[in-house]
Amino acid sequence: MGNAKSSEQVSNKRNASLPRLALPDDRKTSTASKKYVKRMSTSSQGSGSQSGRTVKPALPLAQRQIVKSCMDNAKDDIAERIYRRVIEKREDFRNFVESLPVEQRMELADNLREFLNGVVERLMDSEEVQRLSQEFGGRHVQFRSLGFRPDFFATTADAVTTECVFLDAAVHQASDTLTAWSTLTSLMFSSVRDGYYNEMRKQRRASNCITKPKTTQEALSIDENNQNEEGFPRKGSRGGSRSVSPMESSEGVTDETVSAEEPPTEISEPPVLGDEADEGSETNEKPESNNYLLPPQEIHGC
């Protein structure tokens, strides 16, 4: 009787402690159904991709088995563990995480966990692994204004390798496990970096396309306003001519300014008619002959 009571107490204690460590039944079924849907979608993608192109695995068979066995041992806090390692190594990453609100911190960890699970499910297709990695890298462009730097990816790759090697629990050779995860993380995070820069260039091109029409429209509107406001050219115009307003023409214009602006003109005398013309011709005639180029002749006396 005593042994039966003690066994019942141990089982009750174990059942009481299970909800704290394990997931409830409803969450278990939901996660299992999600995994099943994911596997079905990946298998359909793989069959469709095989018909159109040759599928190349991301890792050899032995390394794929090591990676899958490690991820089977992973818990839900695998992403938090990885980011804790990054925080311990880099102070600037700590400052970045502290600047984020709680919701974005959870989003950051959820994205990393989904990224790892998606890559492990698609190890048979290296192009799908690269596509997922580029999408994961492009999501981090939104954190750029909060202090995120692309060199955080290298430290994150090292933390993923270290944390996932520990998940093996010495089932395989340590060197084999390290080689498998190092090969996978180098493939993953090189594409992650490419996706980050591609998304950043895409956003810059979009912003340039939006700002250019605005600047041209503003410049055209400014020119139209200037033309409407200025009825006459200003004094500093290139033509050099000075426009005179009606007020200036009636008051403030002197003879010197008018003579300086207008070119000198030859004054022609009015024509002389009749007897006045004859008198003028007589007075203008000179006693000398027209042969003024000949030497003077001597005049002999009478």
pLDDT in tens, 63-80: 999 999 999 999 999 999
**Residue 295, SS3 per DSSP:** coil
With contact defined as beta carbons under 8 Å apart, do 148 and 140 qualify? Answer: yes
**In whole numbers, what is the pLDDT of the chain averaged over residues?**
73
pLDDT of residue 207: 80
For residue 87, pLDDT beyond 70: yes
For residue 39, pLDDT beyond 60: no
pTM above 0.75, yes or no: no
pLDDT in tens, 166-202: 999 889 999 999 999 999 999 999 999 999 999 999 9
For residue 38, pLDDT beyond 70: no
Residue 190 burial (CB < 10 Å; 0-12/13-18/19+)? middle
pLDDT of residue 25: 39
Q: Which residue has the higher pLDDT, 219 or 207?
A: 207
With contact defined as beta carbons under 8 Å apart, do 45 and 118 qualify? Answer: no
pLDDT in tens, 124-149: 999 999 999 999 999 999 999 999 99
Cα three-residue angle 164-170-173, rounded to 5 degrees: 95
Domains of the chain: 56-201 (1.10.490.10)
For residue 21, pLDDT beyond 90: no
pLDDT of residue 139: 94
R_g over Cα of the chain: 48
With contact defined as beta carbons under 8 Å apart, do 77 and 111 qualify? Answer: no
CB neighbours of 41 closer than 8 A, spacing ≥ 6? none
Question: Which phi and psi angles does 39 have, rounded to 5°?
Answer: -65, -40
Other C-beta atoms closer than 10 Å to the C-beta of 238 total 6
Q: Which residue has the higher pLDDT, 219 or 152?
A: 152
Closest CA to 119 of 36, 178, 189, 62: 189
